[in-house]
Amino acid sequence: SVPLSYFGGIGAASKKGVLIKGGNYLEGLTQVKTVIFDKTGTLSKGVFDVVRIDLPAGAVYSEKEILKFSAAAESFSNHPIALSIVSAAKEDESVGFAGTSQVSDHTEYAGLGIKAVCSGKTILVGNMKLMAQENIAVPDLLSVGLTAETETHIYVAVDGTFAGRIAISDVVKPDSKDALSRLKRLGVEKTIMVTGDTDKVGHAFAADLGLDTVYTERLPHQKVDALEEIETQTKSVNPKAKVAFVGDGINDAPALTRADVGIAVGGVGSDAAVEAADIVLMTGDPTQLADAFDVAKKTKKIVY
Ligand code: ADP
Ligand code: MG
């Protein structure tokens, strides 16, 4: 049974905007030595700006057409990338984005992107893995110049031919760095990021944030494999050590369920993540994560 004062800890946590679904999770937090993070929406804001659209030589479609087609294809998705592309298309009236009305068919491939039929054209919007899956040759792009390391590239094909690339960028949440250093002071030994994004982008974010390790290009089901690998490593050093996973997306739900302690980022996070988790950060502010560890530690001191 759980000592009564864990209920006091749950109350203290809730005042800081942290929902803890049981006293055992608060106790579990005090044994967490490794924290694994998702990137988009967890450590980063998950709100992308469209910074540029790159065209191939002899482009058939204009930048505006590429934005219009990709926004239509993304219009049924609630992935952060989809929301950003749709809002960029809506912002510029001259793009002529007509919402979902022109979409007759669409498929979302988790960790890859979207395939949709819009006004009779087959549109693909996603990463290089999606282009490979659909046998789309991606040529060199017209002089793009230097691009930011943290820029994510989304490739667009129309009727089987590459049409252009959308460069989008996200930024870290203002309190991520501070929360990560507080975790270290509260006894966490390793901070790790597992992302579906590319090596280049993943490593740029990890270096900026000062994370210990980063796993990149992981499809949603491979996030659980990474978690199991990390868990084995952690427990081989200290069998009592626990691993926490922090994520926001529907894609993170399996890892949130599987981890010793699953922590969902609320606010912008998906309902599936909130349901799968043991602990919910109500506004998604990373400060709340450090607060949860802090409350757990103080509660333990009272209990023992
Ligand atoms: P993360 O691990 O960063 O939270 P996801 O696993 O959700 O990301 O997605 C990984 C990658 O898959 C994205 O960086 C993007 O390249 C691609 N992707 C996923 N969903 C979409 C979408 N709706 N539109 C375009 N690209 C997508
Ligand atoms: Mg995410």
The whole-number average pLDDT for the span 199-208 is 95
pLDDT, mean over the chain: 92
19-34 pLDDT, tens digit each: 999 989 999 999 999 9
Same domain for 215 and 269, yes or no, is yes
- Residue 8: band (very low, low, confident or very high) from pLDDT cuts 50, 70, 90: confident
Domain match, 96 and 240 both: no
Task: Tell me the C-alpha distance between 180 and 34, whole Å.
Answer: 12
pLDDT in tens, 125-158: 999 999 999 999 998 776 576 778 889 999 999 9
Do 134 and 281 lie in a common domain?
no
Same domain, residue pair 144 and 238? no
| 189 and 282 both lie in a single domain | yes
Q: Is there a single domain that holds both residue 114 and residue 20?
A: no
**Is residue 174's pLDDT more than 80?**
yes
177 plus 288 within the same structural domain = yes
Ligand 1 nearest-atom number relative to CA 79:
23
Q: What is the DSSP letter of 40?
A: I
Protein residue with its CA nearest to atom 27 in ligand 1: 113
pLDDT band at 244 (very low <50, low <70, confident <90, very high): very high
Q: Give the closest residue (by CA) to ligand 1 atom 16.
A: 127
CA of 82 to the centre of ligand 1 (A): 9
Last residue of a domain, one of 169, 201, 227: 169
Mean per-residue pLDDT, 39-47? 93
Q: Which domain holds residue 140?
A: 49-169
Q: Are residues 177 and 297 in the same domain?
A: yes
Which CATH number covers residue 204? 3.40.50.1000
38 is catalytic: yes
Is it the case that residue 199 has pLDDT exceeding 70?
Answer: yes
Task: Provide the percentage of residues in the chain whose pLDDT is more than 70.
Answer: 96
* Count: domains in the chain: 2
- Contact present, 217 and 225 (Cβ < 8 Å): no
Residues with CB under 6 A from ligand 1: 38-40, 74, 77, 79, 81-82, 111-114, 125-127, 152, 154, 195-197, 220, 249, 251
Mean of the pLDDT values across residues 180-186?
Answer: 97
CATH number of the domain bearing residue 92 = 3.40.1110.10
Q: What does pTM read for this prediction?
A: 0.91
Tell me the per-residue pLDDT of 209-222, one tens digit each, with 9 for 90 and over: 999 999 999 998 89
Which of 53, 43, 129, 140 shows the shortest CA–CA distance to 88?
Answer: 53
CA of 238 to the centre of ligand 2 (A): 29
Check whether residue 231 and residue 120 sit in a common domain.
no
Shared domain for 16 and 86, answered yes or no, is no
Of 105, 138, 169, which one is at a domain's C-terminal end? Answer: 169
Do 190 and 297 lie in one domain? The reply is: yes
The answer on 19 and 119 residing in a single domain is: no
Order of strands, edge to edge, in the sheet holding 279-281?
Answer: 18-20, 279-281, 261-265, 242-247, 32-37, 190-194, 213-215
User: What pLDDT, in 10s, does the model give residues 89-108?
Assistant: 999 999 999 888 888 999 99
Candidate from 107, 154, 155 with most ligand 1 atoms within 8 A of CB, to mutate = 154
Q: Which of these three, 122, 149, 169, is where a domain ends?
A: 169
